[in-house]
Amino acid sequence: MGSGKSTVGELLAQRLDVPYRDTDADIVAVEGREIADIFIDAGEPYFRELERAAVREAVVGHRGVLALGGGAILDDATRELLAGLPVVYLSLEAEEAVRRVGLNQARPLLAVNPRRQWRELMDARRPLYTEVARVVVATDERTPEEVAQAVLDALELKDA
Ligand SMILES: Nc1ncnc2c1ncn2[C@@H]1O[C@H](COP(=O)(O)OP(=O)(O)OP(=O)(O)O)[C@@H](O)[C@H]1O
Ligand SMILES: O=C(O)C1=C[C@@H](O)[C@@H](O)[C@H](O)C1
Ligand SMILES: [Mg+2]
């Protein structure tokens, strides 16, 4: 969370002149309520079901840059779906993550003690991100534009 998937994803799509899509936004549009409200009203398991369906639909139907929610990778079927695709893992350190999103209530999993929560989530998820990623791009001390360029370089892609 906070690595810049949405910010960098949009920049990359502009650079490549392809559409951008974000499964978090898809879920909000389908449900007609914010992610934090889905977590609070219906619970995380319900959100994860929606997310699994949203990711499947987007991976199958979308041609362009796709940003996934930070926890999508926890789902076995999602990881299988991503195998073989040019998946980018945008990494960052805890201090920078908390600076970026720690006090932002839109991220329900970081609502209480964001630094500790972020570390615990990342310790569980890092191996999964690494497993599916074709490339890993560090985002600390880089602007979103620099991160986008590093992604293009790592995937050996050129601007449109
Ligand atoms: N390279 C960067 N340097 C500094 N700030 C950044 C960088 N990338 C993103 N940000 C800022 O960090 C915040 C989180 O970025 P963003 O929403 O793109 O992350 P995300 O990975 O999509 O998060 P989530 O998993 O919650 O959807 C935003 O305020 C954004 O402007
Ligand atoms: O890391 C996570 O588990 C999440 C990240 C966001 O993208 C949203 O999908 C939601 O807030 C959960
Ligand atoms: Mg996002």
70-87 average pLDDT score: 96
Homologous superfamily of 5-154? P-loop containing nucleotide triphosphate hydrolases (3.40.50.300)
Q: Decide whether any atom of ligand 2 lies within 6 Å of the 2 Cβ.
A: no
> pTM of the prediction?
0.91
5-34 average pLDDT score: 96
Distances (CA, A) of 120 to 62, 91, 98: 32, 15, 13
Write down the domain spans for the chain.
Answer: 5-154
Pocket test for ligand 2, best of 107, 118, 125 (most atoms within 8 A of CB): 107
The answer to whether residue 91 scores a pLDDT higher than 90 is yes
CA distance 54 to 160: 28
CA distance 159 to 115: 36
Sign of CA dihedral 26, 71, 18, 145: positive
Q: Which residue's alpha carbon is nearest to atom 14 within ligand 1?
A: 2
110-118 average pLDDT score: 77
pLDDT at 136: 97
Q: How many CA atoms lie within 13 A of 128 on its CB side?
A: 17
Specify which residues 137 forms β-bridges with: 90
Residue 51 Cα: closest atom of ligand 2: 9
Instruction: Kindly give the residue spans of alpha helices, DSSP state H, lying in 62-113.
Output: 76-82, 94-101
The rounded Å distance from CA 7 to ligand 1 centre is 6
User: What ipTM goes with this model?
Assistant: 0.94
